[in-house]
Amino acid sequence: MKLLVTGVAGFIGSKIAEEALREGHQVIGVDDLSQGQLENIPAKAQFIQLDLSQSNNIDQIPKDIDIILHLAGQSSGEISFDDPILDLSKNTVSTLNLIRFGIENRVRKILYASSMSVYGHVDDKPISEHEDCHPLSCYGAGKLASENYLKIYQHELPFVAFRMFNVYGPGQDLSNLRQGMVSIYLSYALKNHTIPIKGSLTRFRDFIYIDDVVKVWMQAIHSSAVTNRILNLGTGEKTTVQNLMDQLKEIIPNLSWTENENTPGDQFGVYADISSLKNLLGFSNFTPLSTGLRSFAEWAQKRIQKKVLQKG
């Protein structure tokens, strides 16, 4: 199939594009390079640099796309407060433009990267897709709006929306200290051995390894069972920040941390009810956090060493 992968220069988009190419699909990759890196784009992908929030740019995309995998956008709840209009443009207007493109060109379906941020404050329990959504950030509000637009047009362009929980792993941007809890903490840990934690150590998250995310997305390309569904994409495992620190300290023994004020719009805690993911896609074999953290740390250490050698 011919797949359009947006955000192809980003962490998750590039990994999905790589796997799609390995499976024999043709990949058209789109990115405006405002966050992603050229080096992330698979060599065999056809790359088009453009901003999807500008409707006149959509005409640059080939018309014979089979499936859209939409991962482009501003991806930080904290950063979304800096310029809410820009965040809305990058995350919601871009989605509307792709919906129009998909309908006009009879695309089979669109897969969309939504976020756990749509939920807002929730109880300490596995959160299902039926939970009422009260986002706390401009980012979360934009993601929820995009989901609603997808539902409005589902009869003309079938969709699958994944509410992504905390994705981590090799390839994540260690230089961005405002997005990605694990990558932020690991970056501080490797450089300074001290992590400034924004918020309480009792906060909790659901951390999912990048390889597992890629597998689920690729399964969804071929599955009709998830058509016009919104699905949580997490492990279903609750991990506190304290537990994450303890596991990181096993990898980096001289690690320490400090507690600081909360980030605006940050959820205290959320983890996924993944019943729908298991029932509809049959996916339940997740990479343990201890294994994923070690792989990520080894990759990050090699990357830092490589940069030091290049500077030398």
Q: Number of folded domains in the chain?
A: 2
In order along its 312 residues, the chain shows pLDDT tens digits of 999 999 999 999 999 999 999 999 999 999 999 989 999 999 999 999 999 999 999 999 999 999 999 999 887 777 888 889 999 999 999 999 999 999 999 999 999 999 999 999 999 999 999 999 999 999 999 999 999 999 999 999 999 999 999 999 999 999 888 888 999 999 999 988 899 999 999 999 999 999 999 999 999 999 999 999 999 999 999 999 999 999 999 999 899 999 998 887 788 999 999 999 999 999 989 999 999 999 999 999 988 776 644 555
Q: Determine the pLDDT at residue 280.
A: 97
Residue 94 lies in a domain: yes
Residue 281 lies in a domain: no
76 and 54 assigned to the same domain: yes
**8 Å CB contact between 266 and 226:** no
Q: First and final CA of the chain: distance in angstroms?
A: 45
Residue 105 lies in a domain: yes
Residue 151 lies in a domain: yes
Q: Determine the pLDDT at residue 176.
A: 84
Q: Determine the pLDDT at residue 307.
A: 64
153 and 195 assigned to the same domain: no
Return left, alpha or beta for 94; rule: phi > 0 is left, psi -120 to 50 is alpha, else beta.
alpha
From residue 245, alpha-carbon distances to 3, 111, 268, 296 in Å are: 39, 33, 16, 15
The DSSP output letter for 262 is P
pTM: 0.94
What CATH number should be reported for the domain holding residue 159? 3.40.50.720
Q: Determine the pLDDT at residue 78.
A: 78
**8 Å CB contact between 117 and 77:** yes
Q: Determine the pLDDT at residue 54.
A: 94
